[in-house]
Amino acid sequence: MARFSVMQKLEILSDAAKYDASCASSNTTKRNSVGGKGIGSTTGSGICHSYAPDGRCISLLKILLTNFCSYDCIFCINRSSSNVTRARFSVEEVVDLTLNFYKRNYIEGLFLSSGIIRSPDYTMAEMVRVAQMLRELHDFRGYIHLKLIPSASPDLVAQAGLYADRVSVNVELPSEASLKRFAPEKQSRDISAAMGSLKLRIDESKAERAVSRKAPAFSPAGQSTQLIVGADDASDAVILQRSAQLYGSFGLKRVYYSAFSPIPDASAQLPLSDPPLMREHRLYQADWLTRFYGFEIGEILDDSSGHMLDLTVDPKLAWALRHRSRFPVDVNRADRETLLRVPGLGTRSVKSILEMRRFRRLRLDDVARLARSLRVLRNFILAEDWRPGALLDSERLRLHLAPKSQQLALL
Amino acid sequence: MFGAHLAEPADFEGWRRQARVLAQREIPPGDIVWHVGDEPMALFVDQPVNHLACDPLFRLNVPREFLDLAEQVVCHRDPERFGLLYRLLLRLKREPDLLKVATDPDVHRLNTMARAVRRDLHKMTAFVRFRQVRDNAEGEVFVAWFEPEHFIVRRVSSFFVNRFSSMRWSILTPLASLHWDGTALQIAEGAAKRDSPDDDAMEDYWRTYYANIFNPARLKIKAMKAEMPEKYWRNLPEAELIAPLIAGASQRMSAMVKAAPTSPSIRHARQQSRQAELIGGTAGIPSDWVQAATAARSCARCDLCRDATQTVFGKGPLDAAVMFVGEQPGDQEDLAGEPFIGPAGQIFNKAIAQAGLERDRAYITNAVKHFKFTVRGKRRIHQSPNAGEIKACRFWLGLEREFVRPRLIVAMGATALTSLLGKATSISSLRGQITSLDDGTPMIATVHPSYLLRLPDEAEREKETARFVADLNSAKGILSALLDPE
């Protein structure tokens, strides 16, 4: 094997890591470096230190320990049948890069993942060594996210969770059938069993810390996972049902949706074209509706909508257009649940509306100051001096509200 | 005209002190000129507020949120900030709930200013880039140049102290500079960009990372600019890559799409054969308990495997004299992969101990091996398995019975009973008697411990728990009679 410089390894192993969508550095225990011999702190909300032209934030040094991998997951750039250049960092190299980047305020911490070499336990142990060295030798108090190898031994998982702010396992494909087809070595039962045991450990640690603050925190920022969108033929309904089950079973902080995008040296078995970015965006919106807006998946995708989310309009607007009889909603009277279902009102606008209408009746001007835009919203609300015209009942409403670029042009 | 003087642009304490004096006298906002630092006082000012005494007994109550808001707003670069805050303060004296009216023009404007300050603060914590200046006997020293939009340097300092407390660093900005020597913070005069170092050896690594973490197949320039506005780019070492990365993106993307798939290396073939050995496979009917337990892990005899976390097979010594059969794993059992460890398991443990039986010497399993539930928000609600699911899973219970060969089986709950007898049967019809199963194994029936959990009435629960313990007691009696007929 060729000997690579650290710079070359960084090039190869960050390129290999970019298909994991997670970048969060939020919601962990609050720490700072005062009184310590190292550096590092965490704030509640996390910080995005840069943004790449793909619109994604760069919060953590997201790299693989190695992109050698014995698995052959068809969608993955690092699958064993691919001929991408392979490299491997030493534990010390990852530690040095993390600290050097951190000292210059480039990053919030490290997100370390790895291809599987030798055995799941061997790989996991190397990753744990990186975290251990950062925490114990360098007293590093920044953020660490470790990707878990599903069948690694419970001891290693326990250590990983103590050093890391978050440990996570990627589900990648929404159904067992797809996993069998595209990731033959991955066992879906290993993945879910690993997430189940993480959930139990996280809950246990939370309960202990409620009694004593000195109890060690296990993965205090919780766990998350990723589903790839568009590599297999799973519908949005299947993906969202799977998410609901993942949130419900494992108390996940986030399910990330990652549009499958072309990779270097791709397998002939996969659809190579523009990544379905709008579909990914709609899935995130639907996910948000179920978690913060009181929607059930069966409402977002019902019998009349089919199994796929509407790409033209967002899922909340699509729902409202299917349920026009429920509108307009009176912003001066409606309860929180009803207001949350109004297209154009977010959780914060709803909170402001509820707070202020105890003292003053809202006019359309008021609503304009609270919401991002009135364009869609005005069609669905009543205010002190406002009621929408006949358009709400018109079949043309959808066309009227759809983004202009989506409308047909006359030749 | 009153003249209020503030020591520096974000002098919150100065504003607060003088605003109190002015508010006590109900001085109209239009009669006050606020000026900062060395700015010359306007000519028409005849009453410096600093000369006015404040009644020490004067109490001015404002909501806590107003102080938070004011502390942020004084950092804004809008020259009207002090007057606007004072006007809101006077209005709050008469309208104490005014802050809740988010659309009031004053409240809205100040909230918008506070939001701009918070954003500037946040962006400064994100976009400051340190450069190392020397590495001599004194250790590393880091210097950054940054141009904030508002007067936030003092306010943001604690973030950098907390984060880099063991480092020596300076952050230079046009209006003020921060110097941290490892123990104390000094806030000094502003500086110029030329006072800061112009390179750092790590920046090449950082740019390498930036270029490679970028995915050329998902160009979203607007999203990037919304979060990282161009005004910050001139001080970001990675920003010089943005234009070339965008320019080359579509070509890289189409090259990836057009490239013909390559054939895998020899290493891949080697790895595939190793993997095949590792996974192996046991086809056919399991011939011992270990094979059965392994095969059950990938069971798909019914649909419950789709949403359940894992198969929860029975647990206990394979020479156990007694086998307990419950309904199905619950939430905790599903997550851990072990039977009877959740709330119902706790009841079971207590009862079995009261009856004088040892859990470790019993084989404990369920009629159905996967958890059946529906998701309600963040909770999973238990659902009883249907006849088809019970029937599908009878296969595994049959194997467990075959490989453990217990002398006595205790069926807990109707599902267990239905599975063991092969037909729907109620507990009450068989409770208190010994039933002989198809292979002659004696069985007794009792309730499922979760039934006890669900009883709302405490007296009822105590009575039923006692009956449950009595059933286990009789199991113990039957067992000792079977094991020791004398």
Q: Does B225 lie in the same domain as B146? A: no
Q: Whole domain around residue B243: which residue ranges?
A: 207-251
Q: What pLDDT, on the 0 to 100 scale, is given for residue A395?
A: 66
In tens digits, what is the pLDDT along chain B, a chain of 486 residues?
Answer: 899 999 999 999 999 999 999 999 999 999 999 999 887 777 777 788 877 877 777 788 899 999 999 999 999 999 999 999 999 999 999 999 999 999 999 999 999 999 999 999 999 999 999 999 976 667 789 999 999 999 999 999 999 999 999 999 999 999 999 999 999 999 999 999 999 999 999 999 999 999 999 999 999 999 999 999 999 999 999 999 999 999 999 999 888 888 877 888 887 887 777 766 655 544 578 889 999 999 999 898 999 998 999 999 999 999 999 999 999 999 999 999 999 999 999 999 999 999 999 999 999 999 999 999 998 878 899 999 999 999 999 999 999 999 999 999 999 999 999 999 999 989 999 999 999 999 999 999 999 999 999 999 999 999 999 999 999 999 999 999 988 876
User: With left for phi above 0 and alpha for psi between -120 and 50, is residue B151 left, alpha or beta?
Assistant: beta
- Respond yes or no on whether the N-terminal peptide bond of residue A328 is cis (omega within 30° of 0): yes
Mean predicted confidence (pLDDT) in A308-320: 94
Last residue of a domain, one of B70, B102, B123: B123
- Of A9, A103, A239, A331, which to mutate for an interface test with B (greatest number of B Cβ within 10 Å)? A103
Any domain includes B275: no
Tokens at B51, concatenated:
């000369």
Four-CA torsion B153, B154, B158, B161, nearest 10 degrees? 70
Mean predicted confidence (pLDDT) in A113-129: 94
CATH code, domain carrying B460: 3.40.470.10
Q: In terms of Cα–Cα distance, which of B340, B339, B369 is closest to A189? A: B369
C-alpha distances out from residue B270 to B98, B189, B276, Å: 73, 66, 10
Four-CA torsion B35, B36, B42, B47, nearest 10 degrees? 60
Q: What pLDDT, on the 0 to 100 scale, is given for residue B326?
A: 97
- DSSP 8-class letter at A86: -
Per CB-CB distance under 8 Å, the chain A contacts of B217 are 261-262, 274-275
> Is the confidence at residue A139, as pLDDT, over 90?
yes
Contact A55 B222 (CB under 8 A): yes
Contact B122 A56 (CB under 8 A): no
Cα B185 to Cα B158: distance, rounded to the nearest angstrom:
9
Tokens at A92, concatenated:
């010390």
Cα A35 to Cα B183: distance, rounded to the nearest angstrom:
10
> Is the confidence at residue A406, as pLDDT, over 60?
no
Q: Does B419 lie in the same domain as B461? A: yes
Any domain includes B483: no
- Of A81, A140, A188, A386, which to mutate for an interface test with B (greatest number of B Cβ within 10 Å)? A81
Contact A196 B335 (CB under 8 A): yes
User: With left for phi above 0 and alpha for psi between -120 and 50, is residue A118 left, alpha or beta?
Assistant: left
How far is the alpha carbon of B480 from chain A, nearest alpha carbon, in Å?
Answer: 38
Cα A324 to Cα B236: distance, rounded to the nearest angstrom:
49
Cα A314 to Cα A298: distance, rounded to the nearest angstrom:
16
Contact A261 B215 (CB under 8 A): yes
Tokens at A275, concatenated:
């990544």
- Of B91, B158, B163, B378, which to mutate for an interface test with A (greatest number of A Cβ within 10 Å)? B163
C-alpha distances out from residue A324 to A321, A379, A394, Å: 5, 10, 10
- What angle, rounded to 10 degrees, do the helices at B458-483 and B343-354 form? 60
Cα B209 to Cα A193: distance, rounded to the nearest angstrom:
34
Cα A116 to Cα A122: distance, rounded to the nearest angstrom:
8
Cα B22 to Cα A90: distance, rounded to the nearest angstrom:
65
Nearest by CB to A50, from B200, B217, B228: name it.
Answer: B228
- Of A50, A68, A93, A173, which to mutate for an interface test with B (greatest number of B Cβ within 10 Å)? A50
Any B CB within 8 A of A17 CB? yes
User: Three-state DSSP class for A329?
Assistant: strand
Nearest by CB to B165, from A34, A83, A195: name it.
Answer: A34
- Of B115, B122, B143, B165, which to mutate for an interface test with A (greatest number of A Cβ within 10 Å)? B165
Q: In terms of Cα–Cα distance, which of A10, A8, A47, A5 is closest to A27? A: A47
Q: In terms of Cα–Cα distance, which of A184, A116, A139, A122 is closest to A31? A: A139
* Residue B11 · residue B54 · CB < 8 Å: no
Contact A54 B214 (CB under 8 A): yes
Chain A residues 174-203 within an 8 A CB cutoff of chain B: 175-176, 185, 187, 189, 192-193, 195-197, 199-200
Distance of CA A193 to the CA centre of its chain: 21
Q: Does B382 lie in the same domain as B304? A: yes
Tell me, letter by letter, the H, E, C secondary structure of chain B. CEEEEECCCCCHHHHHHHHHHHHHCCCCHHHEEEEECCCCCCCCCCEEHHHCCCCCCCCCCCCHHHHHHHHHHCCCCCCCHHHHHHHHHHHHHHCCCHHHCCCCHHHHHHHHHHHHHHHHHHHHHHHCCCEEEEEECCEEEEEEECCCCCCCHHHHHHHHHHHCCCCEEEEECCCEEEEECCCCEEEEECCCHHHCCCCCCCHHHHHHHHHHHCCCCCCCHHHHHHHCCHHHHHHCHHHHHHHHHHHHHHHHHHHHHHCCCCCCCHHHHHHHHHHHHHHCCCCCCCCCHHHHHHHHHCCCCCHHHHCCCCCCCCECCCCCCEEEEECCCCHHHHHHCCCCCCHHHHHHHHHHHHCCCCHHHCEEEECCCCCCEEEECCEEEECCCCHHHHHHHHHHHHHHHHHHCCCEEEEECHHHHHHHHCCCCCHHHHCCCCEECCCCCEEEEECCHHHHHHCCCHHHHHHHHHHHHHHHHHHHHHHHHHHCCC
- Residue at token pair 């595939």: B272
Q: A109-113 and A60-64 as β-strands: parallel, antiparallel, unpaired? A: parallel
Cα A134 to Cα B212: distance, rounded to the nearest angstrom:
24
Q: In terms of Cα–Cα distance, which of B335, B477, B280, B311 is closest to B399? A: B311
Tokens at B302, concatenated:
């019914």
Q: What pLDDT, on the 0 to 100 scale, is given for residue B277?
A: 63
Query: What are the residue ranges spanned by the domains of chain A?
Result: 6-273, 315-406
Mean predicted confidence (pLDDT) in A79-104: 95
Nearest by CB to B378, from A97, A248, A274: name it.
Answer: A248
Last residue of a domain, one of B91, B108, B123: B123
Give pLDDT tens digits for A264-290.
Answer: 888 888 877 889 999 999 999 999 999
Per CB-CB distance under 8 Å, the chain A contacts of B257 are 262, 272-273
Cα B171 to Cα B168: distance, rounded to the nearest angstrom:
11
> Is the confidence at residue A201, as pLDDT, over 90?
yes
Nearest by CB to B208, from A7, A62, A185: name it.
Answer: A7
* Residue A267 · residue A83 · CB < 8 Å: no
Contact A83 B218 (CB under 8 A): no
Q: What pLDDT, on the 0 to 100 scale, is given for residue B12?
A: 96
Q: Does B185 lie in the same domain as B318? A: no
Nearest by CB to A355, from B100, B223, B262: name it.
Answer: B100
B444: phi then psi, degrees, rounded to nearest 5 = -120, 155
Q: Does B215 lie in the same domain as B190? A: no
Q: Does B418 lie in the same domain as B405? A: yes
Other CB atoms within a 10 A radius of the CB of residue B368 amount to 28
Per CB-CB distance under 8 Å, the chain A contacts of B97 are 358-359
Contact B261 A273 (CB under 8 A): no
Cα B156 to Cα B153: distance, rounded to the nearest angstrom:
5
Contact A80 B216 (CB under 8 A): no
Q: Does B363 lie in the same domain as B221? A: no
Q: Does B117 lie in the same domain as B132? A: no
Q: Does B397 lie in the same domain as B455? A: yes
Any B CB within 8 A of A358 CB? yes
> Is the confidence at residue A407, as pLDDT, over 50?
no
Cα B161 to Cα B178: distance, rounded to the nearest angstrom:
10
> Is the confidence at residue A409, as pLDDT, over 60?
no
| Nearest-Cα residue of chain B relative to residue A49 | B126
Q: What pLDDT, on the 0 to 100 scale, is given for residue A393?
A: 64
Cα A379 to Cα B37: distance, rounded to the nearest angstrom:
51
Chain A residues 79-138 within an 8 A CB cutoff of chain B: 80-83, 97, 100-101, 103-106
Q: What pLDDT, on the 0 to 100 scale, is given for residue B135?
A: 64
Contact B335 A6 (CB under 8 A): no
- What angle, rounded to 10 degrees, do the helices at B12-24 and B81-94 form? 40
Per CB-CB distance under 8 Å, the chain A contacts of B163 are 32-33, 39-41, 105
Contact B100 A105 (CB under 8 A): no
Contacts A–B by Cβ distance under 8 A:
259
Any domain includes B338: yes
Q: How confident is the model at residue A92 (pLDDT cuts 50, 70, 90)?
A: very high
Q: Does B160 lie in the same domain as B27? A: no
Q: pTM of the full predicted structure?
A: 0.91
Give pLDDT tens digits for A331-376.
Answer: 999 999 999 999 999 999 999 999 999 999 999 999 999 998 999 9
Q: Does B415 lie in the same domain as B356? A: yes
Among positive and negative, which fits the CA dihedral B146, B151, B154, B156? negative
How far is the alpha carbon of A330 from chain B, nearest alpha carbon, in Å?
Answer: 17
Any domain includes B305: yes
- DSSP 8-class letter at A383: B
Q: Does domain A6-273 have CATH number 3.20.20?
A: yes
Q: Which amino acid is at B17?
A: R
Q: Does B139 lie in the same domain as B239? A: no
Q: What pLDDT, on the 0 to 100 scale, is given for residue B285?
A: 83
Count of structural domains, chain B:
4
Strand residues in A202-284 grouped as ranges (E): 224-229, 254-259
- Of A18, A32, A51, which to mutate for an interface test with B (greatest number of B Cβ within 10 Å)? A51
* Residue B221 · residue B113 · CB < 8 Å: no
Q: What pLDDT, on the 0 to 100 scale, is given for residue A1?
A: 53
